[in-house]
Amino acid sequence: MTNRVIDWPTFIGALILLLLVTVPLIIFPEEGKLYVDAANTYVTTNFGVLYLLMGIAVFFFLVYVAFSENGRVKLGEKEERPEFNDFSWAGMLFCAGIGSSILYWATIEWAYYYQGPPFGIEPGSRQAIVWSSTYGIFHWGPIAWAIYTLPALPMAYFYYVRKSPVLKVSEATRPLIGKLADGPLGTLIDVLFIFGLLGGAGTTLALGTPMIAEGINRLTGLETNMIMNVGILAGVTLIFGISAYSGLRKGIKILSDLNLFLAFFLLAFMYVLGPTRFITETTTNSIGVLLDNFFHMSTWTEPFNRLGPFTKSGFPEAWTVFYWAWWLVYAPFVGLFVAKISRGRTIKQMILGTIIYGTIGSLLFFGVMGNYGLHLQLTGQLDVISILNNEGAPVAILDVISTLPWAPFIILIFTVLAIIFLATTFDSSSYILASVVQKEVADEPLRWNRLFWAFALCLLPLTLMFLGGLDTLQTASIVGGFPLIFIMIMLAWSFMKASNRDIEVSDQYKPKVINLNYKKILEKLRRGKKKQEPPQKGPVDAHFEEDDPNR
């Protein structure tokens, strides 16, 4: 059974690529770091603009699709209602796509922009402060969520409309590459995706673990060291291993409901007991600044600074390009996951839901947690920036949290929330990795397979954490995620090609919701073909049915 279901070339291919990258990094950490850093500089300097263009193009493409005929197509049967209610759906998608990094960056990202603002602005100036509370929202906002949503389109379409029981990135490019999806090209696409995701998840762990360790230190007084980090990783792996093992409807859903509840609690607590008016005013102001400058921010490349008398800040590469690359390596995973939970919704609902709920979620975190910290800085209650510069981000983050009333209690909530946020991203990651290395996913991927990836996700960062090569891996994965830009284009193209053709054949143009019956479409196409072709070309018929879904 297992032998037939598992797609061994992809499974082994992903493991080999991973070993090929990590073993040299383990043996030659210094040289490895040099090479990877050089590759990173090369890609972000020369192709940074491609990332920016990709971001804005994806955003407008999705807005177009949502309001086009294609957006009305329902993912599932005519009478079918959404499998999960809106609250659980939004919660699951947010928790899958967002890990503990949001607690990290929402609390501290402003402090980096405060001292290193964009657009040549004076550090620490009034303008810098305005941007410091705006830029984080942009980097976690509509474009970022659009990058997450795009892969969901073809994947959900093929899974629920065309009823192909395969949850794979390569499968979603089939209309474009046809039978090549079953060969080495398909395998390469899936392997690149797995590689990118493992690295992106490594970045998440590298940021999340020290922050959780700092939280535990404040609660228990235990020293933050390697043993603690390993313990945290083991604990998180155990939680998400169990969750991934018990599946989508039980473990993953329960954990993400709990995650949402705790997150709302923490945000409400900070908002009500913190400087409520400052938070409200600054967030509102930032939304305006963001809307006003949306295009400028999404296309800012600093072009003249390389030539003229001005120095180059490197802000676009260090932040926007880095972020888009990070969202990109996670995108096919989140896309697959969103596709899986979106049964019974229309494409439009799926697109707008992901972008809007996602952005609102990020906005709440950055608005409340970021402006809470900014307020401490501006009022002189806590010099967050000096702490950040002298003692590092995890200490600064926990210092900010510690200023809240009932500090020990709230640190506990914060730490538990970080652990669950990590676990919810990782349980859905292992679920999806398992799906991608299977030829078929009838309902859920095989259990042992889900568990295998749960451990693979942690084992690698763990090894590298010991050897101190984790940041090299992060950079490597982000560079390694570069081909995903082209895979994104293929995914968009495939979706349009397949869905335009299906809608055309089905003659369903007017209704609000388009219910496509793919069997009937194939039937119609066959009949159409019969009329045109002379009867002696009979065998073409069978060929057509097999081949045509590939178009």
Residues that bind ligand NM2 in the complex, under the rule CB under 6 A: 98-99, 101-102, 204, 326-327, 330, 425
| Least CB distance to ligand NM2 at residue 215 (A) | 16
HSE-up of residue 72 (Cα within 13 Å, Cβ side): 15
- Which residue, 6 or 144, is less far from ligand NM2 as judged by CB? 144
- Which residue, 187 or 477, is less far from ligand NM2 as judged by CB? 477
- Which residue, 84 or 365, is less far from ligand NM2 as judged by CB? 365
Please name the residues in contact with 482: beta carbons below 8 A apart, sequence gap of 6 or more: 43, 47, 325
- Which residue, 133 or 477, is less far from ligand NM2 as judged by CB? 477
- Angle CA 6–332–363, to nearest 5: 140
- Is residue 391 within 8 Å of 385, Cβ to Cβ? no
- CA-based nearest residue to 385, from 107, 166, 15: 107
| Least CB distance to ligand NM2 at residue 532 (A) | 49
- Which residue, 154 or 200, is less far from ligand NM2 as judged by CB? 200
| Least CB distance to ligand NM2 at residue 337 (A) | 12
- CA torsion 142→148→154→159, rounded to 10°? -120
Tell how far CA 272 is from the center of its chain: 30
CA separation, residue 56 to residues 226, 464, 498 (Å): 41, 34, 23
- Which residue, 169 or 496, is less far from ligand NM2 as judged by CB? 169
- Helix, strand or coil, per DSSP, at residue 168: coil
| Least CB distance to ligand NM2 at residue 334 (A) | 8
DSSP state letters, 355-377: HHHHHHHHHHHIIIIIHHHHHHH
| Least CB distance to ligand NM2 at residue 144 (A) | 7
Structure token pair of residue 303: 């072009």
| Least CB distance to ligand NM2 at residue 384 (A) | 21
| Least CB distance to ligand NM2 at residue 307 (A) | 32
- Which residue, 98 or 279, is less far from ligand NM2 as judged by CB? 98
- Is residue 481 within 8 Å of 327, Cβ to Cβ? no
